[in-house]
Amino acid sequence: MNDEPPCSRARAPSGMRHQARRCLLQALYAWQQNEGAVPVPQILAEFLRRTKVGDESYFREVLPGAVADVALARSLCAPSLDRPWEQVDPVERAILILAVHELRAHPEIPGRVVLNEAIELAREFGAPDSHRFVNAVLDRVRQTLSTAPPAA
């Protein structure tokens, strides 16, 4: 990481939460790139030390939760994928992991907001047209989660 990663730039009107999501995407990408060898607390500490992450409390809460939900994200996304999970671009995978965690663990955030944020991240960081892929997969995941019985 360099001293001023791109996630340090907040864009109006998206605000602090969007800035945190941009940094979360980059932290999840970094975690994937080292295949989980660097512990989440170390990645968390490094980002907080070198970067303005926006909504810091949200960043601190979501990063460990999203990493813990990787297997769930994988299983929820699998039926909608046109290729194996391992072949999904790492940026798109990080977006899917983040969004699935938010859909599952943060019901106070409307699903359409989670999808819109994920699409925006895919447009900004992903390959051309990755936003369409992310939108299609997450729309199906959101439908699956909304029809699932509540956890006991």
pLDDT classification of 35: cutoffs 50, 70, 90: confident
Whether residue 113 is contained in a domain is answered as yes
Q: Is residue 55 part of a domain?
A: yes
CB atoms within 10 A of CB 108: 5
> What's the rounded mean pLDDT across residues 71-98?
96
Q: Are 19 and 57 in contact (CB under 8 A)?
A: no
Instruction: Answer whether residue 69 is part of any domain.
Output: yes
pLDDT for position 12: 34
- Give the structural domain span for 135: 7-147
Secondary structure element (H or E) that encloses residue 74, with its range: helix 70-77
Residue by residue, DSSP assigns 41-65 as HHHHHHHHHH---SSHHHHHHHHHH
Instruction: Tell me whether residue 77 is in a domain.
Output: yes
Q: What is the CATH number of the domain that holds 25?
A: 1.10.940.10
Examine residue 1 and state whether it is found in any structural domain, yes or no.
Answer: no
Q: State how far the Cα of 54 lies from the Cα of 72, in Å rounded to an integer.
A: 26
Question: pLDDT category, 151, cuts 50, 70, 90?
Answer: low
CB 103 within 8 A of CB 111: yes
Name the one residue in this structure whose structure tokens are 């996630």. 7
User: Within a domain: residue 115?
Assistant: yes
Q: Over 50: is that where the pLDDT of 88 sits?
A: yes
Output the pTM of the full model: 0.88
Task: Answer whether residue 136 is part of any domain.
Answer: yes
Indicate the pLDDT class of residue 50, thresholds 50, 70 and 90.
Answer: very high
User: How far is 95 from 51, CA to CA, in rounded Å?
Assistant: 19
- Sequence length of the chain is 152
Q: Tell me whether residue 152 is in a domain.
A: no
Tally the domains of the chain: 1
Quote the Cα angle for 59-63-64, to 5°: 130
